A and B are shown apart, each in its own frame.
Chain A
Amino acid sequence: MVKKRVPEWLNSSLWSSSTSNEDDHRLSVAVQPPPSSTTTTTSQQSNNNNHNHIHTSKEAEVVVEAEAEAEIETHAPAGPSAEDISRQAQLLSEISKKVVNMRELRRIASQGIPDTAGIRSTVWKLLLGYLPPDRSLWPSEMAKKRSQYKQFKDELLMNPSEVTRRMDKFKSCEKDDSKCESRCLLSRSEITHGEHPLSLGKTSIWNQFFQDTEIIEQIDRDVKRTHPDMHFFSGNLPFAKSNQEALKNILIVFAKLNPGIRYVQGMNEILAPLFYVFRNDPDEEYAASAEADTFFCFVELLSGFRDHFCQQLDNSVVGIRSTITKLSQLLKEHDEELWRHLEVTTKVNPQFYAFRWITLLLTQEFNFADSLHIWDTLLSDLDGPLETLLRVCCAMLILIRRRLLAGDFTSNLKLLQNYPPTNISHLLYVANKLRVFFQERIRNMPDEPKLCNLYQQDGQSQI
């Protein structure tokens, strides 16, 4: 019963072997997706997937084999592949159209966006709805948003003395306009009882200020600890300092505008890739407005995940626990043997690893370049970021299934908390495949076709 549920392709030796030789090439693979010579087969196949072609299992195996070859070739150092260049050209042509075809853009971008020419910066803004598809609206739209952000900052990053001073000025101006204008001497501002720093009133601006200070200090500490290994974010160089300042501003403005969530650790990690991509836009004007642009894109991205950050929702159907359960169900659906081994036999509570995977959108599981590649898919997939994220997480488990099936609690938890370097294109390919297989299974529900017993092959002979 259990055994019948797993399709044969899951057990292909290539899932595990694909990771073994990657280590030394982690970065090169990350920056340059697999070279074209062999990937053409795969890319065509993935294109098919995107056109909602549904493979039969047999077809799938062929694809898997082709993928195996591509995997091996990946290790050879290569410049930008022909496929890469053509995708770059496709994306450039798509975002240069008068009105961007979002469906087409999503289709191309979901396979990964080349790291060159600032394409990712523009495409992400489109995918997150910050830029409208109609190009003619871009200048006015951006000007509006950027000035709105500036206003937020002016209002929200001001200290209480400034607020009281302004209120005071406003009041005295109201009282007597003429006097106010002609007054030359600086009068000592009258502080109303409620606005005195030592006032205990809950509504006092100062009370609010002290609460805020705590959060601001927390944000400050975390921003300084964001990607401590990257010069862009960390260290004492002026460039890093100004980047930290921008991240800090965004998080403070967000926390003040969202008193229900405020700031939760991990938001800094989600913010970092957006800011990095926008700040490195080769267009200077865009790069200079990265902070404002990032703020709105961050709000948009977080809107799909904000419930995960909310402690009050931890036990609700939208909270983080419920999402982790969804991942667990997805794994059970696709690979019940692995699910059983992890959660029943070795008792690895998925919360121990998936909490971080999900709340941080996989930003701490892979190197930075790889995370960006994963995000290309998360942001462009039509199913939305959350569904896509869960599929990628499920694929991560399946890719290392043989090691997990051979492991006990300790080794499995260690492995899942330190996920091995992986070819990201391959991971995303497998994740996409899960959708295809799922659809196929639903379509063929009555006779459960071509699912075969892999239980016996595994464990003994292969390991």
Chain B
Amino acid sequence: MGSSSGQSSNYDLSFKILLIGDSAVGKSSLLVSFISNSVEDLSPTIGVDFKIKQLTVGGKKLKLTIWDTAGQERFRTLTSSYYRGAQGIILVYDVTRRDTFTNLSDVWAKEVELYSTNQHCVKMLVGNKVDIDSERVVSREEGIALAKELGCLFLECSAKTRENVEQCFEELALKIMEVPSLLEEGSTLVKRNILKQKPEYQAPSNGGCCS
């Protein structure tokens, strides 16, 4: 698990993405599926989890910093700080549980409005668990309609089969790059990082302290 700081100059743009939605809709699974190409059973997220993924989209090398939050209501007073500075927000629901879908408009969209500091922030609605089609209760059409209403991109995916998983993040990133103010933010983050770079930042990899 080497330090990522050593690679920090290897990308053109850096964006912060936030994953929100009800408990157990598969936010962490979606993220793990995207990051490590693997499918694992995971414990519920407590607080916040943080992962980095570098990828190339539209000819640009991107560094995505993805914040994976806890879904239970109890944690909401604490999650407000995670919204700060996010250029993209993914709202996840479970297509086999209707309440997770209705909560997107009842709860999560309101949270975004309240806490997001970024006016032009790109939002995306993602319906997860399409692999268990027999248990589906929220149709694709309903998803599209809600996405339209909330002004979001829309995709259905399965963290388990990895269907559409990469597309979620790639489409979101592409859309972010189309917004000039967000693009500007993304490149400022990179510049600031390069300026901050001191020689010793490269060091941990040979410092004998890396696992």
Q: Could you tell me which residues of chain A, from 305 to 320, have a CB within 8 Å of some CB in chain B?
A: 309, 311, 314-315, 320
CB contacts under 8 Å to A, within B1-44, are 1, 3-5, 8, 23-24, 40-44
Q: Is B150 an interface residue (CB 8 A)?
A: no
Q: Which chain B residues (120-164) contact chain A, with CB distance < 8 Å?
A: none
Q: Which residue of A lies closest to B73 (CB)?
A: A311
Inter-subunit contact B1/A17 (CB<8 Å): no
Q: For the complex, is B55 an interface residue (Cβ under 8 Å from A)?
A: no
Within the assembled complex, what's the spacing in Å between the Cα atoms of A216 and B73?
15
Report yes or no: A234 in contact with B46, Cβ–Cβ below 8 A: no
Question: How far, in whole Å, are A403 and B4 apart by their CA atoms in the complex?
Answer: 12
Q: Is the CB of A408 within 8 A of B196?
A: yes
Supposing A17-B209, A20-B210, A410-B8 touch, asked if A265 and B201 sit within 8 A by C-beta, the answer is no
Q: List residues of chain B with CB within 8 A of the CB of A359.
A: 46-47
Contact with B along A384-416 (1 / 0, CB 8 A): 000000000000000010110011101101110
A266-B42 in contact given A406-B203, A406-B207, A415-B3 (Cβ < 8 Å)? no
Contact pattern, A 357-390, Cβ under 8 Å of B = 1, otherwise 0 = 0011000100000000000000000000000000
User: A321 — nearest CB in chain B belongs to which residue?
Assistant: B78
A314 touches B209 (CB 8 A): no
A321 to chain B, nearest CB (A): 8
Q: Check: B81 CB closer than 8 A to any chain A CB.
A: yes
Q: B50 touching A413 by the CB < 8 A rule?
A: yes
Decide if B46 touches A356 in the complex (CB within 8 Å). Answer: yes
| Docked-complex contact A407 and B23, CB < 8 angstroms | no
Out of B75, B81, B207, B211, name the residue touching A421 (CB < 8 Å): B211
> Is the beta-carbon distance between A20 and B196 smaller than 8 angstroms?
no
A355 lies within 8 A of chain B by Cβ: yes
Q: Is A418 an interface residue (CB 8 A)?
A: yes
A225 and B47 form a contact (CB under 8 A) = no
Q: Which of B31-89 contact A (CB under 8 A)?
A: 40-44, 46-50, 52, 65, 70, 72-78, 81
Determine if B44 and A268 form an interchain contact, defined as CB atoms under 8 angstroms apart.
Answer: yes
B43 touches A228 (CB 8 A): yes
CA distance A456 to B36 in the complex (A): 40
Q: Contact: A364 with B43, CB < 8 Å?
A: yes
Complex Cα gap A268–B42 (Å): 13
Contact A16:B209 (CB < 8 A) given known A225-B44, A266-B44: yes
Residue A420 at the chain B interface, CB threshold 8 Å:
yes
Residues in chain A near residue B52, CB distance under 8 A? 410, 414
Is B113 at the interface (CB under 8 A from chain A)? no
Which residues from chain B contact A463 at a C-beta distance below 8 Å?
A: 200, 203-204, 207
Question: Beyond A20-B211, A309-B74, is A414–B47 a contact (Cβ under 8 Å)?
Answer: no
- Quick check: is A218 within 8 A (CB to CB) of the other chain? yes
Question: A410 with B43: in contact, given A20-B209, A23-B211, A265-B72 (CB under 8 Å)?
Answer: no
Measured between C-beta atoms, what is the minimum distance from B46 to chain A in Å? 5
* A268 to B44 alpha-carbon distance, docked (Å): 10
Given A403-B209, A459-B200, A463-B203: A225 and B46 within 8 A (CB)?
Answer: no
Is the pair A403, B72 in contact by a Cβ cutoff of 8 Å?
A: no
Docked complex Cα distance between A264 and B71 (Å) = 11
Q: How far is the CA of A309 from the CA of B41 in the complex (A)?
A: 25
- Nearest chain B residue, comparing its CB with the CB of A422: B211
How distant is B26 from chain A, measured CB to nearest CB, in Å?
Answer: 11
Q: By the criterion CB–CB under 8 Å, are B74 and A234 in contact?
A: no
Q: Contact check: which of A227, A229, A268, A414 meets B50 at CB < 8 Å?
A: A414
Which residues of chain B are near A417, meaning CB under 8 Å?
49-50
A355 to B46, CA, bound (A): 8
Q: Is B180 an interface residue (CB 8 A)?
A: no
Are A403 and B5 closer than 8 Å at their CB atoms? Answer: no
Task: Verify if A289 is at the interface (C-beta below 8 Å from B).
Answer: no
State in angstroms the CA–CA spacing of A52 and B103 once bound together: 55
Most buried by A among B40, B42, B46, B196: B46
In the complex, chain A residues whose CB is within 8 Å of the CB of B70: 265
Quick check: B47 and A228 within 8 Å, CB to CB? Answer: no
Q: How far is the CA of A218 from the CA of B22 in the complex (A)?
A: 11
A221 interface residue per 8 A CB criterion = yes
For residue B57, give the distance in angstroms from its CB to the closest CB of chain A. 20
Q: Is the CB of B74 within 8 A of A311?
A: yes
Q: A355-B48, A414-B1 are in contact. Are A265 and B207 (CB under 8 A)?
A: no
Chain A residues within 8 Å of B204, by CB: 403, 406-407, 411, 463
Contact status of A222 and B201, CB under 8 A, knowing A265-B70, A265-B74, A314-B78: no
Complex Cα gap A23–B48 (Å)? 25
Contacts of B49 in A (CB 8 A): 417
- Closest Cβ of chain A to B55, distance in Å, is 16
Q: Would you mind naming 19 contact pairs between A and B with Cβ atoms under 8 Å apart?
A: A17-B208, A218-B23, A225-B24, A225-B43, A226-B43, A228-B42, A265-B46, A268-B44, A269-B43, A309-B74, A311-B73, A315-B77, A351-B78, A403-B3, A406-B203, A408-B196, A411-B4, A460-B200, A463-B200
Residues of A whose CB lies within 8 Å of any CB of B are: 16-17, 19-20, 23, 218, 221-222, 225-229, 234, 264-266, 268-269, 309, 311, 314-315, 320-321, 349, 351-352, 355-356, 359-360, 364, 400, 402-403, 406-408, 410-411, 413-415, 417-418, 420-421, 459-460, 462-463
Given contacts A352-B48, A406-B204, A420-B1, 9 further A-B contacts (CB under 8 A): A218-B23, A228-B40, A229-B41, A234-B41, A400-B209, A406-B201, A406-B207, A407-B3, A411-B204
Which B residues are closer than 8 A to A by beta carbons?
1, 3-5, 8, 23-24, 40-44, 46-50, 52, 65, 70, 72-78, 81, 193, 196, 200-201, 203-204, 207-211
